[in-house]
Each structure stands twice: as structure tokens, then as C-alpha cells.
Structure 1
Amino acid sequence: MLSAIPLTEIGYLVIALLVGGAATGILAGLLGVGGGGIIVPVLYEVFRIIGVSEDVRMQLCIGTSLAIIVPTAFRSYKAHQARGAAIPGVLAAWRVPAVLGVVVGSAIAGFVRGWVLQAIFVALVTVLATKSIAGRTEWRIGTGLPGKTALRISGFFIGMASSMIGVAGGGLSTILLGLYGVPIHAAVATSAGLGMFIPLPGVVGYIIAGWAHMGQLPPLSLGYVSVIGFVCMAPVSALTAPLGVRMAHALPRRTLEIGFGVFLLLIAARFLVAIIWP
């Protein structure tokens, strides 16, 4: 596939992958989210240009995106943790239930219409984005974090919801922590770690699912995970994640809250468009 593309165009593709990886890392560090909203469109355009069949293109984008998110989230979380921002014990309580939630959510998603899940997500995120932008601190479900059992249950539902609507979970966990009165910097720092665990079942699933379609996939693909895409984007995103962390801790609380609220509105708009124009 690559041999039929002019060298100048290959250069543009590599630049697009590097820029997309850098933006993903900064976003992960700044807001504690996975960055799939950036990775997937970049990969989709790259795979279109190199001639990947439309039948498998989106699956390849999503599988590769999930794989890239894992090391990016690791670097982001460690950078936040080094600054003492991550809340001790929360990630430990969340990780196993969240992964189990992903498995259950994936099964449930097969029986529920996608637009129903997306509509619920859009309504919830729009309300909470408004809260974040308006600074309505009285919108809470508690003044402190619940006990470990409640945390494990919430981790399960975060994982389940993430798999059902196709996100990495960082945004959802930041929202939840904010509703318990956790400051935005600590919420972002703690949520960044979820990206190390929630995508893992998806990565394995996309690798396995892609084995039957290897003839349609580009060279150096591990099922629906492109090794070339991973190698081009993951190191850059992992390197730039600490930059996003520095930006997050340099920003005032209100600025970060407003930025997070705007990000939520953009995500809600993306899902709303998908509902109206499937």
C-alpha cells in the first residue's frame, strides 16, 4: 500500500501522526482523558489514504487508538502522581471493577440501541458541563469520597458506561469525583490513571477480532491494532503527556474547570451529531 504513495505524501502522513500523538498526550495530561477523539480521526484519514478497506478501517482506528491510550495514560498518571495530585487508594479501588465493568458493558451494548446510550450520555454530559463552566459547587452528591465498597461499585459503572459509549473513562471519573467535591486538579490527576486499565480488554478484543480479516489489513497489523500507527503515535503522546500535566497544574482552578466543561460540550456535540446523522 505505502509503495504506491508519493514520498511527500508519506511525509505528510507521518507528520499528521506525530502531531496527533502530541495533541493526544497534552490532552491526556491536561484533562485526564484518553484522547481517542483526536487519535481516531487522524488514523482514519491516514488509513484512508493508504487504501485500507472501509469494511475494516474504523475497527483498525479504534483498536489502535485503545492501544495508544494505555502508555499515554500511564505517563500522564505518573506525572500527576509525582506532583502529589492523585488521590491515594482511589485508582486501586477502581481498576479491577472498572475492567469487569468494561466486559459487562460490552455485552449489554449488544442488546441496546446505540442511539439510546448516546442520547443519555449527551443529556448527562451537557448538564455536568454546564455545572463545570458555571462553577456550581453546590451540585454535589457528597462532601467527601465514599467508602471502598461504594468506590468499587462506582468503578464498575464507570467501566461499564465507558465501554457502552466508546470512551476511555477519564472524563466520566472526573465528573464523578467532582460531584463528591474533589477539586478539579485532583480529579483530573486521579482520572488519568483509569486509561491504563479500561482500554486493555478492548485492545485484546480488537486483536482477536481482527485475525479473521488480516488479508484486508495493512502490513504490520496485530489484528485490528496497527503496529505502525502505535509506534508513530504512542511514544510522542507519552512524551507530551507530562507537558499537559504541567499546563494543568499551572492553570487556575476556574480556568481548568471551564476548559473541562468546554471539552465535555464538544464531546456531547460529537455524539449528538452521530445520533442525528448516523
Structure 2
Amino acid sequence: MDVLFILVISCLLLGGVVGVMAGLLGIGGGLIIVPVLTYLLAELLQIAPQETIVIAIATSLSTIIFTGISSARAHYRLGNLQRHIIVWCGFGIGLGAIVGAQIASAIPGTALKLIFACLVIAIALYMLFGRRVESDNSATKPKLATIGITTGTLSALMGIGGGALLVPALIWYRVNIRQAIGCAAFSGIVIAVFGSSSFVVSGWDYGQLSQGYLGYIYWPATLSIAATSVFTAPMGAKLGQQMNTQLLKKIFAVFLVIVSIRMLWGL
């Protein structure tokens, strides 16, 4: 059977799972896409291990463009997008996403895997044991820009939408939870556009469009994942109204720790 066909089918299934989990738990798909795609690229396309992680991160970011637009539109209709938050956070996030993508393109694949795995473990531990806390300070424009730069850099470095990082940071500065989630949904698009563009530029000589590449982005995987995730995300959101999502988040966090340890074990 053709390996490209197997890859496309695998990514369609991956997109379906990612969409449900994103809608159900409000978690960016990159936490799932990057490790799975790293494995698929190495096993099916025989891509060198030091290159798979960069391609997986770049491709993961590109899928967020499609899913993020749908999510942001929903939050706009619900009135959860506050202009001053998304403008100042968006400014910092755009800059940070460019920086993060350039760092990811420049460092060795083994080091990038190590960074990704460690950051995922940190996010998973926060999901398991973290609590929503607030400071006595409100979110000023410089603070919003700083939050954006930090979130954008780390998100582009990991290939995620940034909600797991941005929402707790905004809540800390007393931003309403719904507005924080809405801002994260919009910011995911900014991260994806700027981060993906940066990966295209930095990896321009890596592959050709005829081979399925645009820079470091592998488009057959991008389109396959997006094709199903945009449809299953609303299903996950509806399912979340009927389930104990806090318990599911803890189960998912344990899964992330196991996946990250497996990545570290393979270094």
C-alpha cells in the first residue's frame, strides 16, 4: 500500500481525535499532533530523526490556522473577544511566534525534542495540580504585550496554539475566564500565521511543493488533519457539556506525561 495514502488516512484519523479533544477540553491540538506526526514521518516517510520534529511542529502550527478561525468566530459571536486584550497580546504573540519558529529551525532536532518533551510535562503537571489564581494587579498594555511575546515564543517552539499557556497568565491578571479563552482562541490564529510563515521562510530550501513541502510544512498532513478536526471540534464542545471534563483533563495530562517520557527515552 502506498505510504502517502497510509499517512493521509492516519492524519485524517488524527485530526478527528484532535478536534474532539480540542472541543472537549479546550486544549490545543499541537500537544497531540507533534508527537504523533513525528512518529509517522519517521516510520512512513523515512525522514531523518533530527528533521521530523521541526516538520511536525511547523505542520502542527499550520493546522491551527484552520481550526483557530472556527473557534475564534464562535467566541466573537459570544462576545468574548475584548479588543484591547487581543490587540496588545496579539502584537506580542506575533513577534514571539516569529522568534520561536526561528529558534526551532536553528537548534538541533534532539535538543528540540528535549525542549518539547520537558515543556509538555510542565503543562501536564499544571493540568494535574495547578489551580486558577489571581494577583492583585490588572493587565496593563505592557504586561499584555509581555505575556504575548512569551506565549508566542513558547507556542511556536512547541507547535501549539498557546491556550494552555495564555489562559492561566491572563487569569492571573484578573481577566475574565471567558474573555481569556476567547483571547486564546484568537491568539492561536496569530501564532499559527506568524509561526507558520516563519517556518516557510527558514525552511524554504528544505523541500519542493511537488514533494508536498512549503518550507518545513508538510501540506498533505496539514490538509488531512484540518479536514477532520474542523468538523469534530464542535462535536467535542457539545460532548463537553455532558461529561466531567476535569477528570478527562487529568487523564489526558497523564497521557501527555507518558508520551513525553517516551520521547525523552528515545533521545
Matches of 2:40 and 2:210 in 1, distance apart? 11
The aligned residue for residue 37 of structure 2 is 43
* Contact 1:32–1:189 (CA under 8 A) maintained in structure 2: no
- RMSD between aligned alpha carbons? 3.7
Q: 230, 236, 246: which one pairs with 1:238?
A: 230
Q: 1:117 to 1:65 in 2, by over 3 A?
A: closer
Q: 1:221 to 1:206 in 2, by over 3 A?
A: same
The aligned residue for residue 62 of structure 1 is 57
Matches of 2:251 and 2:171 in 1, distance apart? 15
> Quick check: 1:195 aligned with 2:188?
yes
Matches within 5 A, 1:89-100: 89-100=84-95
Q: 1:269 to 1:211 in 2, by over 3 A?
A: same
Matches of 1:245 and 1:88 in 2, distance apart? 25
The aligned residue for residue 217 of structure 2 is 225
Q: Aligned partner of 2:160: which letter? A: V
Matches of 1:94 and 1:187 in 2, distance apart? 11
Matches within 5 A, 1:199-278: 199-214=192-207, 219-248=211-240, 250=241, 255-260=244-249, 262-264=251-253, 266-268=255-257, 270-275=259-264, 278=267
Question: Aligned-pair distance for 1:81?
Answer: 2.8
Question: Aligned-pair distance for 1:33?
Answer: 3.4
Structure 1 unmatched runs, 5+: none
Q: Aligned partner of 1:67: which letter? A: S
Question: Aligned-pair distance for 1:196?
Answer: 0.3
Q: 1:242 to 1:131 in 2, by over 3 A?
A: same
Q: 1:265 to 1:99 in 2, by over 3 A?
A: farther
Question: Aligned-pair distance for 1:251?
Answer: 5.4
Matches of 2:183 and 2:121 in 1, distance apart? 23
* Contact 1:184–1:257 (CA under 8 A) maintained in structure 2: no
> Max radius of gyration: which structure?
1
Deviations 1:230-267 (A, max 9, x none): 2222132223333333344x258xx4455445545544
Could you say what secondary structure the match of 2:206 adopts?
helix
Q: Which moved more, 1:158-167 or 1:64-73?
A: 158-167
The normalised TM-score by structure 2 is 0.76
Matches of 1:231 and 1:100 in 2, distance apart? 26
Deviations 1:124-158 (A, max 9, x none): 762563134xxxx5x3324x752333222221222
Matches of 1:10 and 1:191 in 2, distance apart? 34
* Contact 1:33–1:192 (CA under 8 A) maintained in structure 2: no
Matches of 1:257 and 1:273 in 2, distance apart? 25
Could you say what secondary structure the match of 2:211 adopts?
coil
Q: 11, 20, 26: which one pairs with 1:17?
A: 11
Deviations 1:15-62 (A, max 9, x none): 322221122223333344330132234434543454342254333322
Matches of 1:182 and 1:270 in 2, distance apart? 32
Q: Which moved more, 1:119-128 or 1:238-247?
A: 119-128
Q: Aligned partner of 2:130: which letter? A: K
Q: 1:257 to 1:88 in 2, by over 3 A?
A: farther
Q: 1:183 to 1:267 in 2, by over 3 A?
A: farther
Structure 2 unmatched runs, 5+: none
Percent of residue pairs bearing the same amino acid type = 26
When the two structures are aligned, how many residues end up with a matched partner? 262
Matches of 2:266 and 2:45 in 1, distance apart? 25
Q: 1:195 to 1:265 in 2, by over 3 A?
A: farther
Matches of 2:12 and 2:264 in 1, distance apart? 31
Q: 1:275 to 1:220 in 2, by over 3 A?
A: closer
